[in-house]
Structure 1
Amino acid sequence: MILYKTIALKLGHHLENEMPMDMHGPDGHRVSSEETRQHWQQVLSNLSSASIYLLDHNAANYLDTLRMDVQGMPWEDRPESDIQDYVRDIELPRDLFWIEYVDRKLWEDRCTRRITTLDKEELRNRHQRGFLFDNRSPDKLLVRLYSAVTDTAFLDAPFVLEISKSRDGRPDFNETLWKPQRTVLAGFMRAGLLTDEASMRTYFEEHKGHLTYEMVIGFMLFAALAAREDDLISQEVASLSTSQAKTARKFGKVWMTEVLKSHVTIRIGPAGERHLAEQKARIRFEQAQAASRAAPTEHWVAEHERRYANGKVVRVRAHKRGQALSRDLPARIVGPRV
């Protein structure tokens, strides 16, 4: 199930059929049922107003490789300013937009690229992940992270990242603020997911790491869309089939047709395919080189004298040694730059 459809269907059903209970928030104060219903309504309203982008796993992997070109590999220890300076120059749409991908597939690709290692159990626990970017305000950019738990259950966004904007309207990553969502955290506490202050702090740090690291893919999407026409292919499709929309109207579920209008599916184009093919070939080549006793790469040796223990001196002419560069090593294909 697509995550944003899961959220819309779940919250729409709650608004129609359920009256939530009063709960205690993380600050100890009461969270009323009306606050919870207002939160559900706000999430549905955001989804109905947002532009929806669904990345297939190749597109998400492609955008992640572009990010690594700028940010560097985990072991390279590049300064954060490299990726921050790149990201702040990317033109984002001046509205609400939702970006979703399958997190498990992305991490499988990361393991293939030898960025990280995860066991099968860790991969099984990963599902869809969605980011809601609110870029409507001239003063700040808001980012929320939603995560699927199963095909029919999800975790609401417990914190909102607020990024201030400089005078030129670009995000300023030195001025950020995290805002807890009382209704969401109260629900987590009631479900036993957060039991004390220590677990709250640990969960916040984990969520903060996921959001700040993965949201860069959203910026890379618009960098790629603006840079080349054939890097990515986008196609707008209806979120509900004709029969589903007809059934929703028949049973008075107007909110389904209002929220689940259409979404844009993002796939890689010819340039993106070449980029990923080059990357896979390079990884295979490097693995083969590491596993073999390969001679050094072909190079020139300058003319020099060779002296022996018995006093003999031999002048060696300039010559080549080593193996010529393999023709199997693919040419580097550079991703898009702003």
Structure 2
Amino acid sequence: MILYKTIALKFGHHLENADPVEMIGPDGEKVSSEETRQQWQAVLNDLSSAKIYLLDHNAANYLDSLRMDVQGLPSEKRSESRIQDYVRDVDLPRELIWIEYDDRKLWEGRIARGVATLSKDELSKRHQRGFLFDNRPSDKLTVRLFSAKTNTLVFDAPLVLEIAKSHDGRPNFNDASWQPQRPVIAGLMRAGLLPDEAALRVHFEEYNNHLTYEMVIGFMLFAALAAREDDLASQEFQSLTKSQAKTARKFGKTWMTDAPKSHITIRIGPAAERHMTEQLARLSFEKALITNRAAPIEHWVAEHERQYSNGKVVRVRAHKRGRSADGTLPARVMGPLIKG
């Protein structure tokens, strides 16, 4: 499943064939059918103008590991200013950007790296995720999160995160707000997914946490692309085959032909592979140290004096101490091997 294609097909089909009903919004006011249609059209317009990046599971995990190097694990509770200062200086490559990845694969990678736990049931509920970054306004940056619940069911963004910009055009994370999308919330309420105010609060809190934590992966991608190193490899693909495009034009499916004509798939390169290998080895090594209370890695102890309580003084010659380094681990993880 490619999420942005699914959204374009779904909303385009709705605009062409569906007649949305009036609904009651979270504020108790009616949401007109025209307001719903405008919501669908706005999403289609943004997708058709956006630069599309699809992260494969290795690239998503690599960028996630870079983010954790700066932001830390959720359990570490590092100061938010640390990651905010980093993200603030990252330049977006385009004004309108879509970033998509497989959330289940991302969490499988986190579990494999030993930085998170998740039950099989919770893992099975995770599918594709997409973030839409809109940097067009001069006074704010907006971010929306779209999530697939199945291969055909997609949740639009119930809230839009608006981050005000400072005088230098950089995002000011101390001045952010959430803007509700009335047609989306009304649709969830009508479907029985948000039956009461308590369910509404839980859904919003979960959405807010997911968006604010995971959107940093996007900024890590922007930073990596700007660095132009060999940690990431990109390849452009056409969104529609020639036959699909021909069929869409034949039947006047403008919402298909107006969708992004191509997307860029991001994979990891040699540097990222080394980084992930070293990180896994380091985490495994640290876990073994904690579990087995292993002796320190072999190192030199300088000549020194040892004094005993009875007044005796013994001069200890320089010697090696600890266990031999594991040759299967990268040198950067273990430190330089001792020779001689």
TM-score range (shorter-chain normalised) is: over 0.9
Deviations 1:195-240 (A, max 9, x none): 2222211211111100000000110001011113311111111011
Deviation at 1:6, TM superposition (A): 0.6
How many residues matched? 331
Report the AA paired with residue 22 of structure 1: E
1:22-171 equivalences under 5 Å are 22-171=22-171
Report the AA paired with residue 156 of structure 1: D
Deviation at 1:139, TM superposition (A): 0.8
Deviations 1:249-281 (A, max 9, x none): 222212201114111111111111111111122
Separation in structure 1 between the aligned mates of residue 81 and residue 308 of structure 2, nearest angstrom: 53
2:11 is aligned with 1:11: yes
2:306 is aligned with 1:315: no
Whether the 8 Å contact between 1:129 and 1:146 is mirrored in structure 2 is yes
Instruction: Identify if the C-alpha distance between structure 1 residues 289 and 328 changes in structure 2 by more than 3 Å, giving closer, same or farther.
Output: farther
Separation in structure 1 between the aligned mates of residue 254 and residue 311 of structure 2, nearest angstrom: 97
**Equivalent residue for 1:223?**
223
Report the AA paired with residue 39 of structure 1: Q
Percent identity between the aligned chains? 66
**Structure 2 unaligned regions, length at least 5:** 334-340
| Residue aligned with 1:259, SS | coil
Whether the 8 Å contact between 1:303 and 1:318 is mirrored in structure 2 is yes
Deviation at 1:301, TM superposition (A): 5.3
Instruction: Identify if the C-alpha distance between structure 1 residues 19 and 312 changes in structure 2 by more than 3 Å, giving closer, same or farther.
Output: closer
Separation in structure 1 between the aligned mates of residue 293 and residue 95 of structure 2, nearest angstrom: 56
Separation in structure 2 between the aligned mates of residue 7 and residue 100 of structure 1, nearest angstrom: 12
Whether the 8 Å contact between 1:225 and 1:231 is mirrored in structure 2 is no
Deviations 1:113-155 (A, max 9, x none): 1211001111000000000000011110010000001111100
Whether the 8 Å contact between 1:99 and 1:131 is mirrored in structure 2 is yes
RMSD, aligned CA: 1.8
Whether the 8 Å contact between 1:127 and 1:149 is mirrored in structure 2 is yes
Whether the 8 Å contact between 1:93 and 1:135 is mirrored in structure 2 is no
Deviations 1:29-72 (A, max 9, x none): 11111111111111111110111100000000000000011112
**Equivalent residue for 1:336?**
none
**Equivalent residue for 1:267?**
267
Separation in structure 1 between the aligned mates of residue 326 and residue 303 of structure 2, nearest angstrom: 23
Report the AA paired with residue 108 of structure 1: E
Separation in structure 2 between the aligned mates of residue 144 and residue 227 of structure 1, nearest angstrom: 26
Report the AA paired with residue 114 of structure 1: G
